[in-house]
């Protein structure tokens, strides 16, 4: 059985925590898209970790953690992250990497950095992890599948020359830099390929067998619907699809195997990078929400940048759940709202004098203003509560209103950053 854990909004909804928690009952966890630009925060018995590339199942020794073919594979970051977690006492995880995964090359990171500099104030707010240049090359058919690294020098050099001819044209003429060091790139490949060789496997074949043996597989998404290149706030999006349906491609499994889609959404909103964010708040209100947010404030797990924050956005979230195909909604970070006297929820957008509740295309989104309904706060700490019935009435009112308007069942509530801070609930919608 395959279950996907995916983001409803702009990312940072708490997918890492939910994946780590659900991994207790899984056999395999697989990342199917994105790369080391992810930041999944996990708090467990080993401590607090921000995972960037490794799947969030690595803290469970009895499960297999896979980097699927859809991931942007940064070898150095992979090696460093493995060393980092093991140095903090986590036993060596069981890792498998698709032999069709493509490799993040040093020039991808260079191009990402140079382009952000060139765009200056108009930049996308990239994490400069090389993601956009990587996926552009993949679809322009000049990417590197890891298996290609295991070829003779002359074959490798031929491809390096072919790619570098294209890259140099831009490096020299647009960015006024030196061309690619081609011999250096050959050495770069040869220095790294043996480090990853033991992990490489025909992952889709392995998963086919695992599914026939009734194993439970978790597909772990990065970012969320709003960052999807097709359905998100294009062009302020990421370069691979964070939608559950793409899990079939990025892992190499049949789409009909995905039986459950846990769509993760936070009890307020946060976003990183540029782009329209209708329910964003500013000033002191934003500072309080940011500092109360997440586990120790809403600051990027990869970059440390302060995240943009705002109230819960039902218009965006209903759309996000629909595109993900949510069978279950995990509603997270609810505990952090306990400080508020009143909690606004964005129930509609005002667009050119009309109220709308269906998420518009980006060009219209820019002109949308939030329409709020205000809820009474519960003014207490709800961490430690294990049963839904034991939550304050105001908290239940908040959850049930959002559930009804979303139209998708909230079956999981996260009321703290740790594994045990979780409430499973029977939803009337299910
Ligand atoms: P991801 O990218 O979706 O995995 O989310 P991040 O880890 O980037 O951001 C979520 C933040 O919220 C992290 O700081 C988590 O530790 C924290 N977090 C997750 N669930 C909860 C929760 O229920 N309560 C609180 N207080 N923090 C949470
Ligand atoms: Mg994150």
The Å distance, Cα 3 to ligand 2 centre, comes to 20
Q: H helices then E strands: how many in the chain?
A: 12, 20
Q: Is 26 exposed, middle or buried (0-12, 13-18, 19+ CB in 10 A)?
A: buried
Band (pLDDT 50/70/90 cuts) for residue 324 is: very high
Our answer on whether the CB atom of 266 is closer than 6 Å to any ligand 1 atom is no
d(CA 149, CA 163): 14
Q: How far apart are alpha carbons 80 and 83 in whole angstroms? A: 5
User: d(Cα 64, Cα 114) in Å, to the nearest integer?
Assistant: 37
Asked whether residue 124 carries a pLDDT value surpassing 80, the answer given is: no
Pocket test for ligand 1, best of 55, 417, 419, 421 (most atoms within 8 A of CB): 417
Q: Is 416 in the pocket of ligand 1 (CB under 6 A)?
A: yes
User: What are the tens digits of pLDDT across the range 257-295?
Assistant: 999 999 999 999 999 888 999 999 999 999 999 999 988
Ligand nearest to the CA of 298: 1
Asked if residue 52 lies in contact with residue 39, where contact means CB atoms within 8 angstroms, the answer is yes
Does residue 125 carry a pLDDT above 80?
no
Phi first, then psi: what are they for 42, rounded to 5°? -135, 130
* Closest residue by CA, ligand 1 atom 7: 41
Which residue, by CA, sits nearest to atom 11 of ligand 1?
Answer: 294
List, for residues 180-235, the tens digit of each pLDDT value.
999 999 999 999 999 999 999 999 999 999 999 999 999 999 999 999 999 999 99
- Residues 303-319 have pLDDT tens digits of 788 999 999 999 999 99
20 lines ligand 1 (CB under 6 A): no
Q: How many CA atoms lie within 13 A of 274 on its CB side?
A: 14
| Model confidence at 301: pLDDT above 80 | no
* Ligand 1 center to 427 CA (angstroms): 23
Of all atoms in ligand 1, which is nearest to the CA of residue 415? 23
Indicate which ligand has the atom closest to the C-alpha of 242: 1
CA–centroid distance, 293 to ligand 2, in Å, is 13
139 pLDDT more than 90? yes
Q: Which residues are catalytic?
A: 12, 40
pTM, two decimals, is 0.96
What is the whole-number distance in angstroms between the Cα of residue 223 and the centre of ligand 2?
7
Of 322, 326, 371, whose CA–CA distance to 345 is shortest? 371
CA atoms within a 13 Å half-sphere pointing along the CA-CB vector of 393: 0
Query: How close is the Cα of 10 to the center of ligand 2, in Å?
Result: 9
CB of residue 409 inside a 6 A radius of ligand 1: no
Q: What is the pLDDT of residue 122?
A: 80
Distance set, CA 56 to CA 21, 260, 303, 410 (Å): 9, 18, 19, 22
Q: What is the reported pLDDT for 121?
A: 78
Q: What spacing in Å lies between the alpha carbon of 301 and ligand 2's midpoint?
A: 6
**Ligand 1 contact, 28 CB (< 6 A):** no
Output the residue whose Cα is nearest ligand 1's atom 28. 417
Q: What pLDDT does residue 282 have?
A: 97
Nearest CA to ligand 1 atom 9: 12
Res 305: pLDDT: 87
Mean pLDDT estimate for the chain: 96
Ligand 1 contact, 338 CB (< 6 A): no
């Amino acid at each position: 059985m395959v279950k996907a854990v995916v983001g409803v909004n702009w990312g940072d909804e708490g997918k890492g925590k939910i994946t780590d928690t659900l991994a207790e009952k899984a056999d395999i966890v697989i990342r199917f898209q994105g790369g080391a630009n992810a930041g999944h925060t996990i708090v467990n018995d080993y401590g607090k970790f921000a995972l960037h590339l490794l799947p969030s199942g690595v803290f469970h020794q009895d499960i297999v953690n896979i980097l699927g073919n859809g991931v942007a594979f940064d070898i150095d970051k992979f090696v460093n992250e493995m060393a980092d977690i093991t140095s903090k006492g986590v036993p060596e995880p069981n890792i498998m990497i698709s032999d069709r995964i493509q490799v993040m090359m040093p020039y991808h990171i260079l191009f990402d950095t140079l382009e952000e500099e060139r765009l200056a104030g108009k930049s996308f707010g990239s994490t400069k992890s090389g993601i956009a240049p990587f996926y552009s090359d993949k679809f322009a058919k000049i990417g590197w599948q890891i298996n290609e690294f295991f070829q003779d020098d002359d074959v490798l050099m031929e491809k390096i020359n072919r790619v570098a001819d294209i890259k140099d044209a831009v490096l020299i003429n647009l960015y006024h830099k030196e061309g690619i060091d081609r011999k250096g790139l050959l050495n770069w490949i040869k220095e790294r390929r043996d480090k990853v060789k033991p992990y490489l496997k025909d992952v889709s074949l392995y998963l086919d067998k695992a599914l026939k043996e009734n194993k439970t597989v978790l597909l772990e998404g990065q970012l969320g619907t709003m960052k999807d290149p097709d359905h998100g706030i294009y062009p302020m999006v990421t370069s691979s699809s964070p939608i559950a349906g793409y899990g079939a491609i990025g892992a190499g499994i049949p789409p009909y195997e995905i039986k459950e889609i846990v769509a993760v959404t936070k009890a307020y909103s946060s976003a990183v990078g540029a782009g329209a964010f209708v329910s964003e708040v500013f000033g002191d209100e934003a500072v309080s929400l940011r500092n109360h947010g997440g586990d120790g404030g809403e600051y990027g797990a990869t970059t440390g940048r302060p995240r943009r924050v705002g109230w819960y956005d039902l218009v965006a979230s209903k759309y996000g759940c629909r595109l993900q195909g949510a069978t279950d909604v995990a509603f997270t970070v609810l505990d952090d709202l306990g400080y508020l006297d009143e909690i606004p929820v964005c129930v509609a957008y005002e667009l050119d004098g009309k109220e709308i509740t269906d998420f518009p295309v980006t060009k219209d989104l820019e002109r949308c203003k939030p329409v709020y309904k205000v809820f009474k706060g519960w003014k207490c700490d709800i961490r430690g509560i294990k049963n839904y019935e034991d939550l304050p009435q105001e908290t239940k009112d908040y959850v049930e209103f959002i559930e009804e308007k979303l139209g998708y069942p909230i079956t999981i509530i996260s009321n703290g950053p740790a594994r045990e801070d979780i409430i499973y609930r029977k939803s009337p919608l299910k």
